[in-house]
Amino acid sequence: MAVLIAIANGCLILTVVVLSAYAIRHYWFTLYRLTLRHPRDFMEVVGFVTPRISVLVPMHNEEKVAADVLQALIECDYDWNKLEILAINDRSEDRTGEIIDEFAAKHSIVKAIHRSEGAGGKGAALLEATSQATGEILMLFDADYFPGRAMLKMLVAPFCDPEVGAVMGRVIPHNTGASVLSALLGLERAAGYQIGQQARFNLGVTPQFGGTVGGVRASALRAVGGWNAESLTEDTDLTFRLVVNGWKVAYVNRAECYEEAPESWQVRRTQIGRWATGHTDCLHRFWPALLGTRHLSPAQKIDALFVLACYWTAPTLVLGWIASLFLFFTPAAHQVPLFAVALAFVGYQLFGNQATFFELGSAALLDGNSRRVYLMPLNLLNFFASTGAICSALLRYYARRISGSQGPGWHKTRRYRAKGNGNLFRNGAASLFIQGANGLYTRNVEAHQP
Amino acid sequence: MIPWRFALFCAGIGLIVYLHFYFSHRQWRRVRGEVPSDVDPTYVKREDYFAQSFRSKVRDWLNLPSLDGPLGGPRTVLKERETIRVVPELQMEPGAGSSDILVVEGDFRCGPGCALSREIYARGKAAIGAGSQIQAIAADQNVELGDKVTVARWVDSLGELRIGRACVVHSRATAQTIRLAMDAEVQSVFAPLIESDPDPSAQEHAYLPFVVQSLQIPLADAQSAASWKKLGFDNSKLIRLDADSWIYHGSLKPRVPLRLAAKLVVKGDCVCPPGSVLEQDLKTTGRLAVGDGSECRGNLVAGKSLYLGLQVRFSGILHSGAALWLSRGVHGEAGGGNFVAAHAGSSLYMEAGVTVHGKLSGGKHVKVVPASYAEKWRRRYEFSSEKT
Amino acid sequence: MRRDSIYPHRAIRSIELTPERILAAILLAVLLTVTVYAGRDRLFVEHNRIAASLLELSGIPTYGAASVEVFPLLGSADAAVTDTFHYHTSPLRVVILLVSSVLALLILHRRVHLARNFVVFLLILLLLAAGVMVFFQAFELQSTEFTQIWLREEALVWLILPWFSASLFILGRPDAWVGVLWAIGVQAFGFVWSAVRLAFCLAVIHFSGLLFVPLLWFALGLLADNIYLLVFYSISTRQAAAKTWGKRLSWQF
């Protein structure tokens, strides 16, 4: 029994140490970002950096959203002489291919790529499209995104820095009115981008390239071996291949793009399970290279490991709970006044949770989203759901790893675009009004090249 | 049998727990129909956005009901809690003030010491007297800001904009041509031609360094690496990033002019001697200094300060994490109808006689400073302002 | 020279962290922590008094107070002594309570998708406790022992809370002085609410014994501390964001 108590205490201490480390990191990022007077950005040179770009849009059964994203890209404010849009139809069974062909026929900058054989998955689709791309910079958008007119110019600006290998913009869920889950995810996304990504970029550690609403330098991509068609999260994979080989990832907070967040728990579970598996897989593959590379400082290496290991916090937390339960029910354990352990336990429970919510609240404050912040207490329930989903995903991942099972296919998140209710875009047409403090006004300024 | 008092206690606890979630629950019920964070997909970044947006709004406001004056004379448009005064021409006496939005159909002039707390739109020329304080001004012809004028926000002219001595513009200044006097301070300027006034007291430097030997990176001949080490370049620190990009681990301070034939990232400081030719992009994590008479055809990015020496020519982007210094005679032009841009994370300092076709901006400000300020910068990089 | 707001974008650029603000945060945290530590004996006495009064009001008889050691560093505190239910007294009651609470949780699981994983966790705790009650009948938990565990946790919360309040309410919002009021408010609320929760838990133990103890200790213990801190923080942030939005009006036409 003494041995079991010692093991339980050890597990508890491990949980406290790991989660406290993450909590300190969250707090540091939040305080740093909140008080950051001059964020490092390239906004002032937007429009002055105009290399040739290829926009890649991989699609698999995207008839609901294909027309929207292609139309938005055509309307982007970028010199058509330096722009091509590669719409990739990857063995779709619906009208995706026809829609792409219609756009290609009408607009010279759109090129249709139809895949009917070869490996499946987004990575494989990107691999094939990249071989046909002529741009210096490859921009990536998923089919359910709605890039604004200034998006391409904003995303391409950081590439004036020769060290930048990839750029990431900011995603904002547009369907936050559809369900309480999507509203909660809106809060989480805001924290992840407005605080996390911006702080990491400014501190010189690595913001993550998310594989959409972002771009990668074609020569850098070639230098690190191209897209990894085998990876479940080709974006995380590419981020760390770039970083390990000396490239940097830039983040553009103002390059905002609407996305669809999951509206149901089933979809959310699948999404977060995929992210957890992909990240953890990248951790296993990259940790030796991360520790050994001369291109990163010790602080950058530590932060990179924190990023890759972030989904391990869920099973670590569960381990802590199990240890706590055991200690609670063991008479011998709570007779011993383990002041330090108790202090640490209470401290990390409060600290760890409040660090995350400090980030959420600060992002809401910086964004000017005031009412939605009331949903924060409900995020505790979201947190439980995510913990369960991550733990089961990681269990399946390690089981597959041990048994040597097959790799990924297409992992699409369900689309809600046509649903309408609580969704900003109805019937594929966007009618956008910006609510100012003085009431409604439309932005109708004519655009031209600066 | 559970006593009723305990049942009441349970109900009380339940109520208090619900009250914790009252605001969340209320927001949950409001979620449907909630508008997401407003992202404007129609927004296009343009340097004169404020001014164009203001002009566009003025066009709409002039359709609002007005208190009519004599035909062709002044009138007042009522816009909610604000007043818009529309006049054919306006000349304000020294020390005058106004808290109305002013729309002037012709020329606008105000004397010294005026205080105008709302925006001004002039379809003709505009001249602001010395020491005045204005909110913002857009004019369809030339604009002249007198000495020590303070503009709380932006200035725009469709013609020429002259910013007087010690003027402060807290936001953007945009025009076809912008001329900045000594000590003028702006947050950012954009124009096809930007010039700082020449400094008559400064010596003329027609400086063209005569280059006998230059260091080409990457080395054309790897065998010569040992000899270049004595001249400040260690080839073993150079690592390839991609087909035309390299990383140099350490500071780079060659003793001969640099000829950069590929993109280079320097993990430290970099000091390019006078007469260097940078054909490609150069980035340093530390400070970057480019010596007198050099030519920069690529982009220059510095993690810390960035210094361009006398009569340096650049045709790309300049981006520094800290201060940025443009010495006398610096010329920025991209050619082919394109513009250059220079941005400093903190302050962008420019001496007299700088010409840029494009944009200058600073996190703190862009400021025209006298040559004497430059000396400490030159000493830091061991540059001399004398001809060599 | 840069404005607070990014026009025409909606966001604010940053909030200012002045030395005065940092000093205010540190001073407040130190002051509250020292006050709690120095007044801990009085706090324990009042805490017990509130809990005991609520127990009496809800019809639970108390038999005076016993002294329990919180931690050597924090000294001892009085704990109200009440009867606790034991399994062998009425196994049927345990079965009825277990079945009805499992049913209630299952209904909650079905109806509230957001809370499903949380409900599963509570079910596990409930079944675990039931298992211990049935198969380890020798395991008993007295009211004073529960109070000791409770006070150990809550006393540490009272000591640590000022430091979180300082960061959340003072460093993390534009107007620091309003944040001081929020921090003091949350500290006072935490103390009183702890006494109320303890009384409720002791009352439940009086009727059901060990059955709901882990569930209550988890849900009404540290989790409840997190929740009220979060609620205060969300209301405070809403107020700060609304005020900041108001200031931004000056940049709108």
Instruction: Residue B76: give the domain boundaries.
Output: 50-196
Q: Nearest to residue C175, comparing CAs of C241, C250, C231, C230? A: C241
Pick among A349, A371, A372, A442 to test the C interface (most C CBs inside 10 A): A349
Least confident of A108-122, B230-244, C234-248: C234-248
Is residue B60 a part of any domain in this protein? Answer: yes
Q: What is the pLDDT of residues C77-113, one digit of tens each?
A: 889 889 888 888 888 988 999 999 999 999 999 988 7
Q: What is the pLDDT of residues B114-124, one digit of tens each?
A: 999 999 999 99
Q: Is B42 in contact with A148 (Cβ distance < 8 A)? A: yes
Predicted local confidence at residue A450, as pLDDT:
27
Residue B2: its chain C contacts at CB < 8 A? 207
Is residue B39 a part of any domain in this protein? Answer: no
Q: Residues C37-59: what's their mean pLDDT? A: 93
Helix/strand/coil for C236: helix
Chains contacting chain B through 3 or more C-beta pairs under 8 A:
A, C
Residue in chain A closest to C21 (alpha carbons) equals A35
Q: Is B49 in contact with C8 (Cβ distance < 8 A)? A: yes
- Is residue A272 classed exposed, middle or buried when 0-12, 13-18 and 19+ CB atoms within 10 A define those classes? buried
Q: What is the pLDDT confidence band of residue B73, given thresholds at 50, 70 and 90?
A: low
Q: Is C193 in contact with B16 (Cβ distance < 8 A)? A: yes
Q: How many domains does chain C have?
A: 1
For residues B335 and B263, membership in a common domain is answered with yes
Is residue B362 a part of any domain in this protein? Answer: yes
For residues B178 and B299, membership in a common domain is answered with no
Interior/surface letters A431-441, b for 16+ CB within 10 angstroms, e for the rest = ebebebeeeee
State the Cα–Cα distance between residues A127 and A56, nearest whole angstrom: 10
Least confident of B131-145, B172-186, C71-85: C71-85
For residues B140 and B248, membership in a common domain is answered with no
Shortest Cα distance, chain C CAs vs residue B55, angstroms: 12
CB A280 within 8 A of CB A236: no
For residues B306 and B351, membership in a common domain is answered with yes
Predicted local confidence at residue B231, as pLDDT:
78
Predicted local confidence at residue B211, as pLDDT:
62
Residue in chain B closest to C250 (alpha carbons) equals B118
Is residue C145 a part of any domain in this protein? Answer: yes
Predicted local confidence at residue C33, as pLDDT:
94
Q: What is the pLDDT confidence band of residue A340, given thresholds at 50, 70 and 90?
A: low
Q: What is the mean pLDDT of chain B?
A: 87
* Most confident by average pLDDT, A291-295, B87-91, B164-168, B198-202: B164-168
B78, pLDDT greater than 60: yes
Calculate ∠ Cα C110-C112-C114, nearest 5°: 120
Least confident of A161-175, B368-382, C134-148: B368-382
C186, pLDDT greater than 90: yes
**Which residues have C-beta within 8 Å of that of residue B218, sequence separation ≥ 6?**
B238, B246, B261, B262
Q: Dihedrals φ, ψ of B189, to 5°?
A: -130, 140
C247, pLDDT greater than 60: no
Is residue B36 a part of any domain in this protein? Answer: no
Within 10 Å of residue C235's Cβ, how many Cβ atoms?
Answer: 15
Q: How many CB pairs under 8 A join A and B?
A: 190
Q: Which of B5, B16, B49 sits opposite C59 (nearest CB)?
A: B5
Q: Dihedrals φ, ψ of A255, to 5°?
A: -85, 80
Predicted local confidence at residue A406, as pLDDT:
55
Q: What is the pLDDT of residues A89-118, one digit of tens each?
A: 998 999 999 999 999 999 999 999 999 887
Shortest Cα distance, chain C CAs vs residue A434, angstroms: 10
Is residue C7 a part of any domain in this protein? Answer: no
Q: Which of C113, C160, C172 sits opposite A34 (nearest CB)?
A: C172
Predicted local confidence at residue B29, as pLDDT:
83
Residue A203: its chain B contacts at CB < 8 A? none
For residues B180 and B243, membership in a common domain is answered with no
Residue in chain A closest to B48 (alpha carbons) equals A450
Its ipTM equals 0.89
Percentage of residues in chain B with pLDDT exceeding 90? 62
Q: How many domains does chain B have?
A: 2
Shortest Cα distance, chain A CAs vs residue B317, angstroms: 7
Q: Which of B13, B49, B364 sits opposite C1 (nearest CB)?
A: B364
Interior/surface letters A187-197, b for 16+ CB within 10 angstroms, e for the rest = bbbbbbbbbbb
State the Cα–Cα distance between residues A67 and A57, nearest whole angstrom: 12
For residues B185 and B248, membership in a common domain is answered with no
Chains contacting chain A through 3 or more C-beta pairs under 8 A:
B, C
Least confident of A338-342, A362-366, B181-185, C132-136: A338-342
A433, pLDDT greater than 50: no
Q: What is the pLDDT of residues A277-290, one digit of tens each?
A: 989 999 999 999 99
Is residue C189 a part of any domain in this protein? Answer: yes
**Which two structure tokens, joined as six digits, stand for B1?**
């049998």
* Most confident by average pLDDT, A41-45, A125-129, A132-136, C151-155: A132-136
Is residue B388 a part of any domain in this protein? Answer: no
pTM of the full structure: 0.87
Q: What is the mean pLDDT of chain C?
A: 85
Is residue C204 a part of any domain in this protein? Answer: yes
Instruction: Residue C228: give the domain boundaries.
Output: 19-49+59-86+140-241
Q: What is the pLDDT of residues A169-185, one digit of tens each?
A: 999 888 888 888 888 89
Is residue B27 a part of any domain in this protein? Answer: no
Type of residue at A387 = T
**Binding-face residues of C in 103-132 toward A, CB within 8 A:** 113-118, 120-121, 125, 128, 132
Predicted local confidence at residue B77, as pLDDT:
77
How far the first Cα of chain C sits from its last, in Å, is 20
For residues B189 and B223, membership in a common domain is answered with no
For residues B352 and B235, membership in a common domain is answered with yes
Question: What is the DSSP secondary structure assignment for residue C170, as one 8-state letter?
Answer: I
Q: Is C241 in contact with A357 (Cβ distance < 8 A)? A: no
B385, pLDDT greater than 60: no
For residues B158 and B248, membership in a common domain is answered with no
Say yes or no: B11 contacts chain C, CB-CB below 8 A: no
Domain boundaries, chain A: 42-263
Q: Is C253 in contact with B57 (Cβ distance < 8 A)? A: yes
Q: Is B9 in contact with C203 (Cβ distance < 8 A)? A: yes
Pick among B4, B5, B6 to test the C interface (most C CBs inside 10 A): B6
Least confident of A194-208, B28-42, B183-197: B28-42
Is residue C202 a part of any domain in this protein? Answer: yes
Helix/strand/coil for C61: coil
User: May I ask the CATH architecture of the domain A42-263?
Assistant: Alpha-Beta Complex (3.90)
